[in-house]
Amino acid sequence: MSNPEPQQLIDELDNILDRERVALMAGDLSKLEELLAKKEKVISKLNSVTELEREALELVQTKLSRNQQLLDSAMEGIRSVAARMAELRRIRRGLDVYDQSGRRNRFGTRGATKLEKRA
């Protein structure tokens, strides 16, 4: 496939986008790096083709938009988890309060932070 036809490139990109969607839906973020490299390579080849028809690219454009929304949602979830973990770490360190004169006081948490298993 040294000089692929435009439709072959579109079909290849379509296949990559389907695989990317499956990985995003399954939460398998480790596959995204490989797929991104392949996607960029195919898109680069498509950008060099001058005789592309708009209709041939519409389905691929729809899939690109869909996958971008899924990726944005995944990133939002990751940011949310990171923020929640940071908040939990902050709470474990103690509670900061201010007295009447505006001085900050820290109240540490009591006891160990491990769970006790009871039979």
What's the pLDDT band for 119 if we cut at 50, 70, 90?
A: low
pLDDT in tens, 11-64: 999 999 999 999 999 988 899 999 999 999 998 988 887 777 777 788 889 999
User: E strands, 10-78, where?
Assistant: none
Judged by DSSP in three states, 105 sits in strand
Query: Is residue 99, in this structure, part of any structural domain at all?
Result: no
Domain that holds residue 15: 6-93
pLDDT in tens, 61-84: 999 999 999 999 999 999 999 999
pLDDT score at 111: 57
Give the chain's domain count: 1
Query: Is residue 103, in this structure, part of any structural domain at all?
Result: no
- Contact predicate 15/7, CB 8 Å: no
- At a CB cut-off of 8 Å and minimum separation 6, what does 3 contact? none
Query: Is residue 83, in this structure, part of any structural domain at all?
Result: yes
Query: Is residue 115, in this structure, part of any structural domain at all?
Result: no
